[in-house]
Amino acid sequence: MASFLIKDVRIFDGENTIENGSVLVENGKISKVSNSPIEHHGTTFSKPGHTLLPGLIDVHIHADSGNPVALPQSLRFGVTTACDMHNEFYNIEKLRKQIEGGDCADLKTTSFAATIEMGWPMPVVLAHHDTPEVRAEIATWPRLDTPESGRQYVQDRLKDKVDYIKLMHESGTILGQKFNKPSLELQRAIIDEAHKHGLRAIAHATCLADTLEILGCGVDGLAHCFVDQSPTEELITAYKKNGSHCNPTLATMGSATTEGQKMQEKYAHDPRVQHLIGEEERGRMCACMSFAKETGKVEYAYEAVRQLKKAGVPVLAGSDAASPAVGTAWGLTMHQELAIFVKECGFTPSEALHAATMLPAQRFNFHDRGQIKEGLLADLVLVEGNPLEDIDHTLDLRAVWKGGELCSAYKGQV
């Protein structure tokens, strides 16, 4: 595997900044980081006026049906690690095989989420895509009903070599419907069993009441922020009780309420990214899911995130990009999410980038990535300009490396 040096570049290591430094990559890993010159006689890139970032970690995607676009497109946009939050195991195997061919973001997974009979997301999936193929996929999902079945579910996921456990805690409030929801006894059993095996437990919830319930069960993090009402004083207490984090998926919640459509269109048609995204994916990003158009306001989520941040609750960046769902695009929506953090939720650009790199690696125990640090994977993103001053520069992409390998979209351009 080739070695190379990047010099004369601003380095954001996931937490701190070196204004003019050098990074040496050898055998797919970062071998040296310095604020002074590094001696190297091989391939060298001198990049004044550029910023080197750790590869972005998107803590929430769905590569539905093992969609072969998801991981390559994520990588082109600087996402070097993508966390799938519910997928059939045979699709996970398909994606893992695709990764072996290179030019893909790495995949972390829960495989099947902890689903129950006609609980989230079964009714919604069937309402939109009731085909024999979809019913065949749903037939493979867990149908948990007792604490014992929940514990067995976790043990089964260990055989799939999963990286975390995903729970579903959705009453249907935000959709104006009523869905079957797992009992708290079942949820506690799943969380307890996950913790016994050293796995983080992450939960879906989209209304405040469901959020408070599942936080009370001891979950490690939430995979959305609610949009049904303003945050209450209970929220901070509930998050802090067990040191839980929030991945608010604000861009997706804006698609749910339709308030984010103009921003989605802006990113989908940004002239800087047209060569990185296909026409179908661009079109999907411009549409809205709209399921909370009558019942929610994205400002409720923005305000909740402001309060969580102020209280010191960890807030992570993740897109919930999926297909055939609309309103998002793999990789690109992460840049929209970072902009929302800065423009709506009181983050500095460096805090937003921390939430997409070092912080998720720490929260999910991904010890080999998330920082530009000696010994870690050479997952790197080079952008022109200074995104630490203007977060918009994250889309001025000039190179992406995964494990020291340059993404093919940037070959001959660095």
Residue 128 has pLDDT above 90, yes or no: no
Pick the CATH number of 1-54+370-414 from 3.30.450.20, 3.30.70.20, 2.40.160.20, 2.30.40.10: 2.30.40.10
Write out the H or E segment, with its range, that includes residue 349: helix 349-354
Angle between helices 250-257 and 332-345 (to 10 degrees): 90
Higher pLDDT, 132 or 354: 354
Tell me, what's the pLDDT at 139?
93
Residue 10 has pLDDT above 90, yes or no: yes
Render pLDDT for 33-84 as a digit per residue (tens, 0 to 9): 999 999 999 999 999 999 999 999 999 999 999 999 999 999 999 999 999 9
CATH for 56-368 is: 3.20.20.140
Tell me, what's the pLDDT at 127?
80
By residue count, the chain amounts to: 414
Asked if 70 contacts 91 with a C-beta cutoff of 8 angstroms, the reply is no
Asked if 35 contacts 10 with a C-beta cutoff of 8 angstroms, the reply is no
Q: What residues are paired with 57 via a beta bridge?
A: 81
| Location of structure tokens 């043990």 | 155
Strands (E), 140-193: 165-168
Asked if 148 contacts 163 with a C-beta cutoff of 8 angstroms, the reply is no
**pLDDT-wise least confident of 24-38, 127-141, 215-229, 317-331:** 127-141
**What is the CA angle 248-99-110, rounded to 5?**
40
Token couple for 229: 């009402």
Strands (E), 3-93: 4-12, 17-26, 29-34, 43-46, 50-54, 56-61, 79-84
- The C-alpha atoms of residue 305 and residue 238 are separated, in whole angstroms, by 14
Q: Give the closest residue to 13 by CA, choosing from 410, 361, 390.
A: 361
Residue 2 has pLDDT above 90, yes or no: no
SS3 at position 7: strand
Residue 194 has pLDDT above 90, yes or no: yes
- The C-alpha atoms of residue 57 and residue 186 are separated, in whole angstroms, by 30
Tell me, what's the pLDDT at 123?
86
Instruction: Give the residue extent of every domain in the chain.
Output: 1-54+370-414, 56-368
Q: What is the mean pLDDT of residues 372-381?
A: 99
Render pLDDT for 325-351 as a digit per residue (tens, 0 to 9): 899 999 999 999 999 999 999 999 999
SS3 at position 180: strand
Residue 398 has pLDDT above 90, yes or no: yes
Which strands sit side by side in the sheet containing 245-246, from one edge to the other? 165-168, 201-204, 221-222, 245-246
- The C-alpha atoms of residue 37 and residue 27 are separated, in whole angstroms, by 20
Tell me, what's the pLDDT at 209?
98
| Location of structure tokens 């297909």 | 323
Token couple for 231: 């945050």
Give the model's confidence band at 124: pLDDT under 50 very low, under 70 low, under 90 confident, else very high. Answer: confident
Residue 324 has pLDDT above 90, yes or no: no
Residue 1 has pLDDT above 80, yes or no: no
Tell me, what's the pLDDT at 159?
94
